[in-house]
Structure 1
Amino acid sequence: MQRLQPSKRRISSPVSVAPWKSVVGLLFSLILILLQAESIQAEPPAFTESPRNRIFFWKVTSTTLAPDGVTRPVILVNEKYPGPRIEVNRGDSVTVVVENALDVPTSFHWHGLTMRDDPWYDGVPGMNQCPIPPGTNFTYAFGTDNVVGTHWWHAHFENQYIDGLVGAIIIQDPPETNPFRLAYDEERTIVISDWYHLPTGPLLAHYLSPESQGIEPVPNSGLINGKNIFDCSKVQPANLECNPGERSVFHFLPNRRYRLRLINSGAAAAFLFSIDEHKLQVIEVDGTDINPILVDSLPINTGQRYSVILTTNQEPKNYWMRAEMGMACLPNTPTNLDPIVLAEIRYQGGGKGEPTSVGRFQPGTPKKGDPAPINPAFEAACLDPDLYSLHPLQPQPLLEPISKSIRVQITFKADPVDNITRGYLNDITYAGNAWRPTILQNLDPVETFEIAQHVMKIDKRDSIVQIILENPHGGEHPFHLHGHTFQVIAQGQGVYEEGKTELNAINPLRRDTATIPRHGFAVIRFKADNPGVWSLHCHIEWHVTTGLVMQFVELPDELRALGLPKQSAKLCEAGPPKGFKAHTGFVPKV
């Protein structure tokens, strides 16, 4: 399958609003009429003999929405939550034309895509791009020939994705190379997320203050494909508008096999996913096909994705789909939190009534004096599946010998000056300049980086880099690496000891987001063969804000030789909008 050359995909000059505004508006209207928006297309695109350039037009706006019945301000793409789904074939080129109609900057990251040959479109302000100014357009253009599977996109500026800027990316494998082509009949995409009843503005104002003591905001509920029902009697503050919500409904035929593509697009919460009275066959982890395993339930931390095959071989009736929030991994459990998210699965012929199926946990009525039973899902959601049960379908030997080993310790502590609790990796809390990104700085071979940028350079191609992530304190951290799929070679409680801790050395799992357990560790390895500036960060979005981030400048000489497209460099000329202040969160217009 021949890949389009990068020069044919990139746009070398910026797209200004004035000459394009009417054209973009017309195209939006035409696309929405003809396709009813790409986010709801039911079938994958038809496979073509040669790669195609698939073009998507996005408009970013703010409005109000009530996904679980509670009305709140949100930021949306094409007025949808979750946002438009990008679904293409492996080998296709993707072009996304973004019109930023907000009054603040924005940017987008393509989570799970390695952006090989397109590092400036990875979407991280301060690292590989500058934000898209308000009232302007910007075009992302990237290839997909080295990636397949279930991924997602989200905003990567401030905390905007918490406020609604998320959506699925599905890259279909051609039939001749899809190992599970005959294993399922249909597929569905399921986006799971935690949800807050207030926008990030007021939540951040408290979080980034001494009063919070570093305790991040806790969600109020969760959503499955943007829907849920919240108990209006629990709404806080009480003056929020609350009306009956609705749940997502999935219609299934009996005796069919459905591939469910699961995405946790949340900001903080891990979930345990299950379907009453059904088993799930896991076949994909973060875009890597695996030897299938059968499970009753599946933990999914924020940023992670799985594909499972559901066989509808039970009695034709209606069943609950459950995403049970890992409350044990949250800092506290407020009274206005509903941790169990439900959707309906309706078998054909099963009637229209609400499901009466029973989950694995039945609290019952405790006897007088007995403690209330605890849902085991609340604890089970906090850890990744057993590392030794997940092995890629296409084996890859352990990456060795190690060229560079980096031990990274995760800590939180109060700043002695302002008493605000921040996150630290090896005693550095990250702070970058969104309008002077590392990729731009790297164009100068003698440029030096600030300590707060937390830059690690990898100069030698094909170096094997090992990262030992240590979490000596409480609270799990799902860490995501941009630009790579890594091997997870160790994960567990306690302290990692080189040469003593058992390694997952035989066909180790490959993924891009792994959970570091509380009082535990994870060890990952990747090969340095992708020039770029790649972020390594906790995917609890609040922790990103407090500095739990570092970055790798990979093969800086090769990256410098690639240059920088004119439209990317042009973004940096705008500078921050007048009066802009970092980390203020989404504050809706009055």
Structure 2
Amino acid sequence: MEKLRFGLVLMVLCLSTSLVKGGDPTVTFEWKVTYGTISPLGVPQQVILINDKFPGPVINGTSNNNIVVNVFNQLDEPFLFTWNGIQQRKNSWQEGTLGTNCPIPPGGNFTYHFQVKDQIGTFFYYPTTALHRAAGGYGGLSVHSRALIPIPFDINPADEFFVLVSDWYTKSHTQLRKFLDSGRSMGRPDGVIINGKGGNGDGKDEPMFSMTPGKTYRYRFCNAGNKDSINVRIQGHTMKLVEIEGSHVVQNMYDSLDIHLGQCVSVLVTADKDPKDYLLVASTRFTKEPHTATSIIRYTNGKGPASPELPKAPIGWAWSLNQFRSFRWNLTASAARPNPQGSYHYGQINITRTIKLVNTAGTVDGKLRYAFNGISHVNPTTPIKLAEYYGVEDKVFKYDLMKDEYEPPAGKAEEKITLAPNVVKVIYRNYVEIIFENHEKSVQSFHLAGYSFFAVAIEPGKWTPEKRKNYNLLDAVSRNTIQVYPNSWAAIMTTLDNAGLWNLRSNSLERQYLGQQLYFSALSPKRDLKDEYNMPDNDVLCGIIKDMPLPKPYSV
């Protein structure tokens, strides 16, 4: 019996370590995902909790750490997490979208294994199934520099605080889903919350953060919301921007920062004001009636409440565009590796393919749908990644239904929208230019999984090849999300050097659910472990491949 038990333990350890790089430290978590009743906006409602917490636990890691998260799904629906901004080299198996993974069934569990390889920065995780993100289930994920890599700060922060801001609905995620499934919109959110709470600025809440006079602190902000851009600011204090989504940036000072859907930044704040309470303020942007939430920052020897007068948010999206233009990559700082970030001369690489994505909307059978270039994505019952691995693509989806160039119909003509899995085949390691063109009156935000890209331009109007002369080809920030202002375009550039299947999606929950997403399939020319890992032994199987024999695994 003892020999059998030892053999089982050894086998489990081997399976676990086979999916992560040996020699680097492993950080392990065990999460139970449940429902609970709390009142983020003063109204009791059902919220998704992780280990009885909302937001969920912060994952604190260091560059090259192996992250192991054992998830027990105790909801009544299938469930998945995604790790927003973590590149997961060669490992889209852990991406946690319905195109890459079968969801964890109710009562089941799945263990995610991934490595934060050569990454630093501020990120977050959230659910990708149904409309679960509207019910919570999200949390922060920070990756620190290794000890041998110098941090480009004048002073080491005394502490750091994760600040997850989000617009919020008091309606349940099931009710919101019924709206969308019936052809209606989700409507406007009901308020804003900061770390799961919706302070109203009266100064009567318990302090959320504490600072010692004279010391400097790092605040990591992420917009984990559903629909709106959010502006953050701190009464009486300026913020020194030091990092955006994994890149050290030129350290400019800001009174406030616009954080668009899915985006993360980190700032340094020094406690150099009169010792009392101050309010951290978060409010929605580009909405007719902005929602605002506050949380209290208390000086440890503070005497006196915060002023009831809140610092005002900026007005208009032109201000936000100018702020974007002020963001610059810090070319003198080290990255997660001991070499300067600026050694990657992205502006000197020849573009091999240009893909222009126009975000479009229309109706199919009388129901609202969103699309890229007229294709509204539908998740097949067999995940795309599994269909590719098992060689049954032709039974599940078709590649390249979407054209690289697209022009929506002029005037009030009804746009034709096709419902289908939207899978774009790309050549592994090609250097591509992606244009996002927004013909609508609202600000949009998009995320590319599996890669960092260079956000080289945002401008009003329509994109043309002549616009390339306005690109920032020297110090554009390397990041993973990009906003696009009304009737404007944005350009990004990236090398598709991460083999696998990777999701490009709208960060708007409504748009994402109703089809505004696609998958890039960057297939390795040969089944080689140097390019991509094998399917994990613990992967959940579903659809037509569930009972099929395993394919021949990749080899070195």
Query: Which category describes the TM-score, using the shorter chain as reference length?
Result: 0.7 to 0.9
CA distance in structure 1 between the partners assigned to 2:503 and 2:423 by the alignment: 9
C-alpha distance in 2, partners of 1:570/1:389?
Answer: 43
Which residue is equivalent to 1:116? Answer: 89
Question: Aligned pair 1:512/2:452, yes or no?
Answer: no
- The answer to whether the aligner puts 1:428 opposite 2:375 as a matched pair is yes
Q: Is the 8 Å Cα contact of residues 291 and 390 (structure 1) preserved in structure 2?
A: yes
Q: Which residue of 2 aligns with 1:355?
A: 306
In the alignment, the residues of structure 1 paired with residue 540 and residue 87 of structure 2 have an alpha-carbon distance, to the nearest angstrom, of: 21
TM-superposed deviation, 1:550? 0.8
Q: Distance in 2 between matches of 1:9 and 1:116?
A: 19
Question: What is the one-letter code of the residue matched to 2:267?
Answer: V
Q: Residue 413 of structure 1: which of 353, 362, 365 is its match? A: 362
Q: Is the 8 Å Cα contact of residues 318 and 344 (structure 1) preserved in structure 2?
A: yes
Q: Does structure 2 conserve the Cα–Cα contact (< 8 Å) formed by 1:387 and 1:504? A: no
Task: Measure, in 2, the Cα distance between the counterparts of 1:553 and 1:511.
Answer: 20
Alignment of 1:234-273 (within 5 A): 246=205, 248-273=207-232
The answer to whether the Cα contact below 8 Å between 2:386 and 2:545 also exists between their aligned partners in 1 is: no
Matched-pair contact (CA < 8 Å) for 1:443–1:560: no
Q: Kindly provide the CA deviation profile for residues 148-204 of structure 1, in whole angstroms up to 9, marking residues without a partner as x.
A: 111111111111121011001111112321423652332111111111111122123
**Residues 448, 504 of structure 2: 8 Å contact kept:** yes
Out of 339, 346, 352, the residue aligned to residue 403 of structure 1 is 352
Partners of 1:384 and 1:193 in 2: CA distance:
23
Given that 2:103 and 2:540 are in contact with CA atoms closer than 8 Å, whether structure 1 keeps it comes out as: no
Choose the corresponding residue for 1:475, options 442, 452, 459: 442
Residue 216 of structure 1 deviates from its aligned partner by 3.6
The 5 A counterparts of 1:115-514 are: 115-125=88-98, 127-180=99-152, 182-183=154-155, 184-210=157-183, 212=184, 215-229=185-199, 246=205, 248-326=207-285, 328=286, 330=287, 333=289, 339-351=291-303, 353-356=304-307, 358-361=309-312, 376-377=314-315, 383=321, 385-393=323-331, 394-395=341-342, 396-399=344-347, 400-415=349-364, 417=365, 419-433=366-380, 435-445=381-391, 447-448=393-394, 449-450=397-398, 451=401, 452-459=420-427, 461-501=428-468, 502-514=470-482
CA shift at 1:53, angstroms?
1.2
Code of the aligned partner of 2:33: V
Gaps of 5+ in 2: 1-12, 332-340, 402-419, 547-556
Q: Secondary structure at the match of 2:151?
A: coil
Q: Report the AA paired with residue 526 of structure 1.
A: T
CA distance in 2, matches of 1:68, 1:245: 15
Q: Is the 8 A contact 1:229 1:247 kept in 2?
A: no
Q: 1:75 matched to which residue of 2?
A: 48
CA contact (8 A) 1:152 1:168 kept: yes
Alpha-carbon distance, 1:62 to partner: 0.9
Aligned with 1:568: secondary structure? coil
**Could you say if the C-alpha distance between residues 251 and 409 of structure 1 is closer, same or farther in structure 2, counting changes exceeding 3 Å?**
same
Deviation at 1:413, TM superposition (A): 1.0
1:84 corresponds to = 57
| Counterpart position of 1:587 | none
Q: 1:150 to 1:533 in 2, by over 3 A?
A: same
Displacement, 1:497?
1.6
Match of 1:522 in 2: 490
Partner of 1:202, secondary structure, is helix
Give the AA of the match of 1:392. N
Larger mean CA deviation between 438-447 and 507-516 belongs to 438-447
Question: Retained in 2: the 8 A contact 1:66–1:245?
Answer: no
Is this contact kept in 2: 1:224–1:248, CA < 8 A? no
CA distance in 1, matches of 2:62, 2:43: 37
Q: Distance in 2 between matches of 1:57 and 1:316?
A: 40
Shift in CA distance, 380/205, structure 1 to aligned 2, threshold 3 Å = farther
Whether the aligned pair in 1 keeps the contact of 2:327 and 2:477 (CA below 8 Å) is no
Q: Distance in 2 between matches of 1:355 and 1:270?
A: 25
| Runs of at least 5 residues in structure 1 that lack an aligned partner in the other structure | 1-6, 14-48, 232-243, 362-374, 576-590
Q: Which moved more, 1:549-558 or 1:98-107?
A: 549-558
The one-letter code of the counterpart of 2:163 is I
1:538 paired with 2:485, answer no
Distance 1:405 1:559 in 2: 27
Partners of 1:342 and 1:173 in 2: CA distance: 31
Distance 1:250 1:567, change over 3 A: same
Shift of 1:284: 0.3
Higher deviation after alignment, 147-156 or 311-320: 311-320
Q: Aligned partner of 2:131: which letter?
A: N
Taking the aligned partners of 1:386 and 1:300, their CA distance within structure 2 comes to 10
What is the alpha-carbon distance in structure 2 between the residues aligned to residue 87 and residue 279 of structure 1? 26
1-side partners of 2:196 and 2:70: how far apart? 24
Q: Does the CA contact (< 8 Å) of 2:382 and 2:544 recur in 1?
A: no
TM-score (norm 1): 0.79
Alpha-carbon distance between aligned partners in 2 of 1:8 and 1:156, rounded to the nearest angstrom: 29
Q: 1:154 to 1:500 in 2, by over 3 A?
A: closer
AA in 2 matched with 1:354: P
Q: Give the aligned partner of residue 29 of structure 1.
A: none
User: CA-to-partner distance for each residue in 1:220-246, whole Å, 9 max, x for gaps?
Assistant: 111111112469xxxxxxxxxxxx994
AA partner of residue 167 (structure 1):
G
1:508 deviates by: 1.5
> SS state of the match for residue 252, structure 2?
strand
Q: Does the CA contact (< 8 Å) of 1:491 and 1:520 recur in 2?
A: yes
Worse-matched range after superposition: 530-539 or 442-451? 442-451
| Conserved? CA contact 2:120–2:143, under 8 Å | yes
Structure 1 residue 61 corresponds to structure 2 residue 34 = yes
The amino acid across from 2:362 in the alignment is K
How far the C-alpha of 1:267 sits from its partner, in A, is 1.0
Give 3-state SS (helix, strand or coil) of 2:539's partner.
helix
SS at match of 1:204: helix
Deviation at 1:128, TM superposition (A): 1.1
Q: Distance in 1 between matches of 2:147 and 2:351?
A: 36
Seen in structure 2, the aligned counterparts of structure 1 residues 293 and 168 have a Cα distance that, compared at 3 Å, is same
Amino acid of the structure 2 residue aligned with 1:58: W
Aligned residues: 494
Secondary structure class of the residue paired with 1:292: coil
Return the alpha-carbon distance in structure 2 between the equivalents of residues 431 and 11 of structure 1. 34
Measure, in 1, the Cα distance between the counterparts of 2:125 and 2:134.
12
Q: Is the 8 A contact 1:392 1:508 kept in 2?
A: no
Residues 422 and 248 (structure 1), Cα distance of their counterparts in 2 relative to 1, 3 Å cut: farther
Which amino acid in the other structure matches residue 226 of structure 2? A
RCO (CA 8 Å, sep 6+): is it higher in 1 or 2?
Answer: 1
SS in 1 for 2:435: strand
Q: CA deviation at 1:289?
A: 0.9
Give the 3 Å change call, closer, same or farther, for CA 454–282 of structure 1 in structure 2. Answer: same
CA deviation profile, 1:345-369 (whole Å, cap 9, x unmatched): 1112222x431164443xxxxxxxx
Alignment match, 2:541: 570
Q: Which residue of 2 is the match for residue 24 of structure 1?
A: none
Residue 349 of structure 1 aligns to which amino acid in structure 2? N
Secondary structure (helix, strand or coil) at the match of 1:386 reads helix
Q: Which amino acid aligns with 2:537?
A: K
What is the Cα deviation at residue 88 of structure 1?
1.4
> Which whole-Å CA distance do the structure 1 matches of 2:322 and 2:136 have between them?
26
